[in-house]
């Protein structure tokens, strides 16, 4: 059976990237590898839309989130955390773990942030050291207005702006420098179409100043070590050689295609899925749906966990279920990774068939037809 990944990471990896990664391993301190790293570091600046340093860590995305916290938050520091899903909650847990004082901004799962309220909090508490946000909250499929939050934080010289763009970067527009993002965190297993295992952190000059002053102990995630090594396109520790080689290829493909084209492809696929859901009589969970991942609310009485498991077993299609309060209630489909329009049609068609098997009345092809209209006119 053909296996297809529509989970919000990991995702399918293009063959040309897989073939690059299958080449014999080279040592990470050789001129050959450092030349690959040099090209990769430079292309990452395009992917991040930044002139800031972009550092590469051998870890999953959470490692980069932890790096963002341990390098900028000292015990007792106050930070606003926008938390409206699993990954906002993770930032809050990380800040608390390292002794920070979390001021939660909780608009509710699936809801956009209240920027006026964030501004008010910042005005009333000039000692706030950081604002943490998520570009795309994967657990709900919600996109956050990072540009407006960035403009607000920029008016507060004491605070830095830290964004988890693990799920969104490459799938939706995100301008690190233009939007005033001091630290942007991302990971390899989403829109970069790579296997899991690499994470990235961009750091602005304002954030570097903070990093120097932070009192929290750190070792593997001390970003100063990564910056020092990166001046020679090197890494402080053994790098995940094959993944960096894959990353170079993936970034070459993206640069050739351009980010604008990539964003537009995600936008179309997401719109196709949203329209298909509506045609099937289903609604979207989020009040601000992203073009990176879509969470579709399932009809009452249908067990989402079972549905996802059956999709995988019967059709080889992996989609994600819900987490925590959404467990069993939604199905989440990602729009990133190596997929094309016909993959979108395939997953929608599989969802239709499976919903019918679970007893929900769907006219054959009704969702697929709506999707084709968006994708091909
Ligand atoms: N933040 C977001 C928005 C994510 O989607 C994920 C992964 N699903 C993470 C953080 C955590 O990344 P990882 O699982 O790679 O540690």
Q: What secondary structure does DSSP assign to 176-215, as a single string?
A: TTTTT-SEEEEESSSTT---S--EEEEE-HHHHHHHHH--
In terms of Cβ atoms closer than 10 Å to its own Cβ (0-12, 13-18, 19+), residue 163 is: buried
Residue nearest to ligand 1 atom 13, measured at CA: 61
Ligand 1 atom nearest to 196, measured from its CA: 15
Tokens of 340: 């094309």
Which has the closest alpha carbon to 9: 154, 245, 193?
193
Which has the closest alpha carbon to 102: 131, 78, 70?
78
Query: How close is the Cα of 9 to the center of ligand 1, in Å?
Result: 8
Query: How close is the Cα of 238 to the center of ligand 1, in Å?
Result: 23
The three-state secondary structure class of 165 is coil
Q: CA dist 309 to 36, 139, 165, 347, Å?
A: 40, 18, 28, 14
Query: How close is the Cα of 65 to the center of ligand 1, in Å?
Result: 9
Q: How far apart are CA 335 and CA 269, in angstroms?
A: 6
Q: Residue 348 has what pLDDT?
A: 98
Ligand 1 atom nearest to 137, measured from its CA: 3
Q: How far apart are CA 41 and CA 241, in angstroms?
A: 14
Contact partners, residue 205, CB within 8 Å, separation at least 6: 52
- The CA dihedral of 255, 345, 20, 164, to the nearest 10 degrees, is 60
Ligand 1 atom nearest to 199, measured from its CA: 15
Ligand 1 atom nearest to 135, measured from its CA: 3
Strand-strand pairing, 130-134 and 160-164: parallel
Question: Locate tokens 């001046």: which residue?
Answer: 231
Tokens of 348: 């929608």
Ligand 1 atom nearest to 63, measured from its CA: 16
Query: How close is the Cα of 154 to the center of ligand 1, in Å?
Result: 26
C-alpha triplet 216, 123, 132: angle, nearest 5°: 40
- Beta pairing partners, 284: 296
Query: How close is the Cα of 61 to the center of ligand 1, in Å?
Result: 5
Query: How close is the Cα of 87 to the center of ligand 1, in Å?
Result: 7
Strand-strand pairing, 330-334 and 183-187: unpaired
**What's the CATH code, domain 15-256?**
3.40.640.10
Alpha helix segments (H runs only) across 181-222: 205-213
Q: Residue 138 has what pLDDT?
A: 98
Q: How far apart are CA 132 and CA 137, in angstroms?
A: 12
CA atoms 111, 116, 121, 125: torsion sign: positive
Query: How close is the Cα of 322 to the center of ligand 1, in Å?
Result: 14
Ligand 1 atom nearest to 87, measured from its CA: 1
Residue nearest to ligand 1 atom 12, measured at CA: 61
Domain positions in the chain: 4-8+258-375, 15-256
Ligand 1 atom nearest to 293, measured from its CA: 5
Q: Are 259 and 319 in contact (CB under 8 A)?
A: no
In terms of Cβ atoms closer than 10 Å to its own Cβ (0-12, 13-18, 19+), residue 300 is: exposed
Residues with CB under 6 A from ligand 1: 8-9, 60-62, 87, 134, 138, 164, 166-167, 187, 196
Query: How close is the Cα of 97 to the center of ligand 1, in Å?
Result: 18
Q: Residue 105 has what pLDDT?
A: 98
Ligand 1 atom nearest to 65, measured from its CA: 10
C-alpha triplet 366, 297, 352: angle, nearest 5°: 30
Q: Which of 87, 141, 188 has the most ligand 1 atoms within 8 A of CB, as the residue to mutate? A: 87
Q: Most distant CA pair in the chain: distance in Å?
A: 62
Q: CA end-to-end span of the chain, whole Å?
A: 31
In a structure prediction context, what are the per-residue pLDDT tens digits for the chain, which is 377 residues long? 999 999 999 999 999 999 999 999 999 999 999 999 999 999 999 999 999 999 999 999 999 999 999 999 999 999 999 999 999 999 999 999 999 999 999 999 999 999 999 999 999 999 999 999 999 999 999 999 999 999 999 999 999 999 999 999 999 999 999 999 999 999 999 999 999 999 999 999 999 999 999 999 999 999 999 999 999 999 999 999 999 999 999 999 999 999 999 999 999 999 999 999 999 999 999 999 999 999 999 999 999 999 999 999 999 999 999 999 999 999 999 999 999 999 999 999 999 999 999 999 999 999 999 999 999 99
Query: How close is the Cα of 59 to the center of ligand 1, in Å?
Result: 11
**What's the CATH code, domain 4-8+258-375?**
3.90.1150.10
What single string gives the DSSP state of each residue in 71-85? Answer: TT--TT-EEEEE-SS
Q: Residue 59 has what pLDDT?
A: 98
C-alpha triplet 106, 136, 303: angle, nearest 5°: 80
Query: How close is the Cα of 207 to the center of ligand 1, in Å?
Result: 22
Query: How close is the Cα of 311 to the center of ligand 1, in Å?
Result: 23
Residue nearest to ligand 1 atom 6, measured at CA: 166
Ligand 1 atom nearest to 60, measured from its CA: 15
CA Rg value for the chain: 21
In terms of Cβ atoms closer than 10 Å to its own Cβ (0-12, 13-18, 19+), residue 100 is: buried
Strand-strand pairing, 330-334 and 53-57: unpaired
Tokens of 55: 């550092």
Contact partners, residue 1, CB within 8 Å, separation at least 6: 315, 316
């Amino acid at each position: 059976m053909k296996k297809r990944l529509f989970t919000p990471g990991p995702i399918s990896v293009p063959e040309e990237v897989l073939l690059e990664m299958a080449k014999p391993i080279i040592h990470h301190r050789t001129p050959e590898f450092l030349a690959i790293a040099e090209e990769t570091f430079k292309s990452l600046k395009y992917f991040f839309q930044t002139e800031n340093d972009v550092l590469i860590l051998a870890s999953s995305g959470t490692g980069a989130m932890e790096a963002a916290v341990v390098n900028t938050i000292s015990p007792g520091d106050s930070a606003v955390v926008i938390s409206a899903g699993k990954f906002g909650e993770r930032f809050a847990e990380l800040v608390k773990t390292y002794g920070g004082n979390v001021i939660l901004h909780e608009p509710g799962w699936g809801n956009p942030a209240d920027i006026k309220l964030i501004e008010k909090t910042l005005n009333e508490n000039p000692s706030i050291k950081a604002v943490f946000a998520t570009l795309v909250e994967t657990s709900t499929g919600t996109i956050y207005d990072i540009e407006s939050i960035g403009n607000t934080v920029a008016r507060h010289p004491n605070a830095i702006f830290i964004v988890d763009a693990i799920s969104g970067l490459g799938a939706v527009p995100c301008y690190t420098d233009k939007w005033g993002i001091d630290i942007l965190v991302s990971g390899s297993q989403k829109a970069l179409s790579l296997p899991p295992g690499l994470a990235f952190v961009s750091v602005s000059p304002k954030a570097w100043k903070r990093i120097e002053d932070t009192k929290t102990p750190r070792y593997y995630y001390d970003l100063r070590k990564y910056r020092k090594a990166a001046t020679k396109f090197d890494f402080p520790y053994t790098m995940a050689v094959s993944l960096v080689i894959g990353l170079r290829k993936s970034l070459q493909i993206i640069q050739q295609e351009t980010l604008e084209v990539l964003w537009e492809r995600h936008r179309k696929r997401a719109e196709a899925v949203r329209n298909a859901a509506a045609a099937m009589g289903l609604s979207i969970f989020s009040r601000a749906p992203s073009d990176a991942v879509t969470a579709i609310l399932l009809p009452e009485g249908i067990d989402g966990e079972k549905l996802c498991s059956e999709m995988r077993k019967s059709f080889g299609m992996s989609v994600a279920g819900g987490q925590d309060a959404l467990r069993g209630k939604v199905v989440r489909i990602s729009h990133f990774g190596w997929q094309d329009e016909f993959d979108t049609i395939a997953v929608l068609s599989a969802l239709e068939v499976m919903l019918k098997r679970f007893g929900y009345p769907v006219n054959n092809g009704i969702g697929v037809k709506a999707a084709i209209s968006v994708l091909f006119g």
